Amino acid sequence: MKGIVYLLGFGHVAICSYWVLYTREAVAALKGGIQTYSLKCLSAIPAVFGLLFLISASATTYPWVFRIIALLAFCEAAVAFTDPQHIYSRMLDWYFQNVSDQTNRLFGIIGIIFGTAILTWI
C-alpha cells in the first residue's frame, strides 16, 4: 500500500514539475491527447486514480483525505463519461482557449505542493 502512495506522490510531483517548467508543451500534449481519444475512453484515467487513492488510503496518516480525493476522482470520471449537456467538453474548451500560462504554472505549483503533502502523509 505504501508503494502506491509513493507512486502517487512522486508521480504527481514529477508531472506537475514538468507542467511548471514546460507549460506550453504540456498543454499542447494534453490537448493532443484529448483530441485523439474520446471522453468515454479518457474517463478511465480519473477512475483508475480514484481506485489507487481508495486502495492506498489505509496506509496513510489521514485516510479520510485520500477517500475524499478518490470520491472526487470517481465523480470526475462519471461526469467525463456521461458528459451531460456537454459540460465537460465546454470546460475543456474554456481551459484550452482562455487559461493563461501563468495560471497553468499556478496549477502546477499547487500540484507540487499536493504531491509533497501526499508524501508526508505516509
Q: Give per-residue pLDDT as tens, 22-72.
A: 988 988 998 888 888 888 888 899 999 999 999 999 888 889 999 999 999
Q: What is the structure's pLDDT at 91?
A: 87
DSSP E strand boundaries for 7-98:
none
22 SS3 class: coil
| Residue 82, C-alpha cell as written in the block | 456521461
| Residue 55, C-alpha cell as written in the block | 486502495
Q: What is the pTM of this model?
A: 0.84
Q: What is the structure's pLDDT at 121?
A: 87
Task: Name residue 82's amino acid.
Answer: T
Is residue 95 pLDDT above 90, yes or no?
no
93: nearest Cα among 16, 26, 35, 19:
35
Q: Give per-residue pLDDT as tens, 71-82.
A: 999 999 999 898
What does pLDDT average to over the chain?
Answer: 90
Q: What is the structure's pLDDT at 117?
A: 92
